[in-house]
Amino acid sequence: MVIINGAEHIVWKNEKTTLLTRNLTEMREHFEHFDIPEIVLRHESAYDEMIGSEPKKNSNRLEVPLGKNPYALPKHLH
C-alpha cells in the first residue's frame, strides 16, 4: 500500500498479483529507487475473526515507523 496525495493505493507486482513479501529488506529493495519520505510497517490483526468474536467497531491497526535502513546496501551495489 502506498499513499499518494493522501489517497491509499495498492501496489501491483503485475496485472494479476499484488506486491507481497514477508521480508522487509526485500520490500525496501522494490522501492529503493524512489524518494520515499516515510516508511511504516502496518499490521491489522485477524485475532477476533479467528476466535469467532464479533468484529470491533474500532480498528486494531498497528503502525510502526521504520527509518531508511542504513545497514542495507542498495541492490545495485551487491
Q: Which residues pair with 36 in a beta bridge?
A: none
List, as one string, the DSSP characters of 28-76.
Answer: HHHTTTS--S-EEEEE---HHHHTTPPPPSS---EEEEE---TTSPPGG
pLDDT of 76 reads: 64
pLDDT in tens, the chain (78 residues): 888 888 988 889 999 999 888 888 888 888 888 888 888 888 887 777 778 877 777 777 888 887 766 555 666 665
How many Cα neighbours within 13 Å face the side chain of 78? 6
pLDDT of 18 reads: 92
DSSP state of 77: G
Question: What is the separation of C-alpha 41 from the centre of its chain, rounded to a whole number of angstroms?
Answer: 5
H or E, element range at 26:
helix 24-30
pLDDT of 14 reads: 93
pLDDT of 72 reads: 59
